[in-house]
Every structure is written in structure tokens, then in C-alpha cells.
Amino acid sequence: MTENEKTDYFKRMRKVSPLEHIAHGIDVNFLFQFGKKDKSFAPNEKSEELISKVNSKLLQVKYYNEGHAIHLNDEATSDRINWIKSII
């Protein structure tokens, strides 16, 4: 994706961006999982901005030595399953 395409993409997606809505989730359970090597859609400064807007103390944040595709990481998958089990 070129820089112009990326800029256009983020402009179009702004209305559904978690950054715009996350603060409304008061006392909601959140698990954020980020890849330390992700340079595409969740660079470190954006993940930190998202975390800072959460209005819930029920927040867990995990970082993995991956890029954007953390769904392929066994540890991340196990963490998600355990997190879901803990809240249901």
C-alpha cells in the first residue's frame, strides 16, 4: 500500500475507528493484542493512543513478537481463549 493509499484508507475508516469510540466502553472487558513488529495498521504510537483512551479498569494488554498477523501466533491464540473463558 502506498503512503497516499494508506492516508486515504485511514480517512475513510475514521468513522469506525476504535480511537473514536473506545472511550464509551466504561467497565467493559478489553483484551488488546499487538504485534511488536506490526508496521501496517497498528504502529506502537497508535496502540498506545488506543490504550490511553480506554475508560475501563478491566483492560489487559499483550504484546507479541509478531507483525500484524498475531492470529497465527499460538501464544496469542491461547491468551485469547483464556481471556474469553475468564469473562464468561
Q: What ranges do the domains of the chain cover?
A: 3-87
Place of cell 486515504: 8
The residues, ordered by sequence, that sit 6+ positions from 11 with a Cβ below 8 Å of its Cβ are: none
pLDDT of res. 25: 84
Length of the chain, in residues: 88
Its pTM stands at 0.75
Mean pLDDT along residues 77-82: 98
Mean pLDDT along residues 52-79: 91
CA-atom Rg of the chain in angstroms: 14
pLDDT of res. 41: 64
pLDDT tens track for 14-48: 888 888 888 888 888 999 999 988 877 666 777 88
